[in-house]
Amino acid sequence: MTLHTQNSIQILSISEQEKIMDHWLQDRLNQLLPLLMKKHNIDMWLTISKEYNEDPLAKTFFPSAIDSSRRITIFAFVSKNQSTGIKRFVISSNKKFEPFYSCYSLQDSEDSFDGLKRLVDTYDPDSIAVNTSMHYAFCDGLSHSNLEYLGKVLGKQHANKLVSSENIAIDWLQTRLDSELDMYKELESITKEIVRQTFSNEHIIPHKSSTQDIVQWIRQRVRDLGLKTSFYPTVDIQRKEGTSDRIEGTVLPGDILHLDFGIEYLGLCTDTQQLAYILSDDDKEPPAGLKSALKAANKFEDIFFEISKEGMSGNDIFLEAVKEARKNNLDAMLYSHPIGYHCHGAGPIIGLYDKQESIPIRGERHVKNNTCYALEFNIRQFIHEWNKSVPIYLEETVCFKDGKMQYFTDRQTEYYVIDPEW
């Protein structure tokens, strides 16, 4: 059954959510994982996770009936000598892992690592990928103690075969099935609907509501829907008489409200930034200068979409987009990031807010099909009505599919408008 909620937002029941996520997991294990093992030439991939100190990758392997490692759980994926597909083992007695994995039974007096040693001996892989990484937190889930003990258990015969799983792990985390991308449209629609409900006189009263009041309403609304926010939302103000670009406090007529917000649903995250304008007493619509600035921000989005091509690195896109923005007399900052299981997800960084330059390592990764991004940026434009330069912050959850960037929903091209009196 579907849980119907007020104000046009519909959230699936827990059982329906779990059915979808389990279907995705089965398809990812059957279709995606063998391709990645072959692509990265990995004979065996291990994920060793402790209860209450979960490996971020282990969480992406759990079926819905299992929510933790229960002491210790070891996933072992084997491709060596497999003509088709791979073998998927889990060293656990929990039969709810099946049919996603084969439970590898321990013999008398064996612990999980003894069983793992026996499995490694059986398949004698040339390479054993483990989750260690200097640059990506979600690829660095193997604890120091488990790494040391693993080396001891494997001994000289196998310990020197250990390699980082960073590359295969990033591809596993960032690559989305077509069915996941289809559902992402629903996630983004829900996100935008919550934004629409937020930017209304029902929840924002000029001279009374504060930025923190709005944040708390959003957080409660998301919780009431049975969802999570993908990060702690923020609301700030751009004001004609403001002393800085982003201020907090009580909302006043003539303010621009800037909301940075996302949800987590079905194991995936969204991240969006949207803008509202509080009409002044003599306003019927936002000032022409502010409307022009929003159009300039949309122009930069167009530039980003036109430039982004398959195989380009994050740094390539960043440099080309900023260069093209200058040609179009746009004062732009670009700081976009991958998104998926994690809000700041696996894949190529496209600029950083505090480093408007090429980013070593993380910016060198290439854009690939069936990956998702938070197109996050700002442009700064002089507003004649305010007699100063004003930043316009926007962000959209987008995907790269069929060789091009694509929106999941319509982007923001007009301000949400809130009346000065209610």
| Sequence-separated (6 or more) residues with CB below 8 Å from residue 245 | 238, 390, 391
On the CB side of 84, CA atoms within 13 Å amount to 1
Residue among 406, 53, 408 at smallest CA distance from 263: 408
pLDDT tens-digit map of 382-408: 999 999 999 999 999 999 999 999 999
DSSP, collapsed to helix, strand or coil, labels residue 99 as coil
CATH topology of domain 11-172: Creatine Amidinohydrolase; Chain A, domain 1 (3.40.350)
Position 422 scores a pLDDT of 60
Say which CATH architecture domain 177-418 belongs to: Alpha-Beta Complex (3.90)
Tokens of 284: 């019927």
Domain regions of the chain by residue span? 11-172, 177-418
CB 268 within 8 Å of CB 341: yes
Computed over every residue of the chain, the mean pLDDT equals: 95
List CB contacts of 71: < 8 A, sequence separation 6 or more.
50, 51
Residue 181 tokens, joined: 């991308």
Same fold: 11-172 with 177-418: no
Residue 81 has pLDDT above 90, yes or no: no
Helices (H), 67-177: 112-123, 144-159, 166-174
Q: Which two tokens stand for residue 96?
A: 């709810």
pLDDT tens digits for range 288-313: 999 999 999 999 999 999 999 999 99
Q: What is the pTM of this model?
A: 0.94
| Token couple for 147 | 């790494």
- Cα–Cα distance list, 355 to 32, 301, 318, 330, 358 (Å): 34, 20, 11, 18, 8
Using one digit for the tens of pLDDT, what is the confidence trace for 124-153?
Answer: 999 999 999 999 999 999 999 999 999 999
Helix axes 14-27, 178-198, angle to 10 degrees: 140
pLDDT of residue 8: 82
Cis peptide preceding 99, ω within 30 of 0? yes
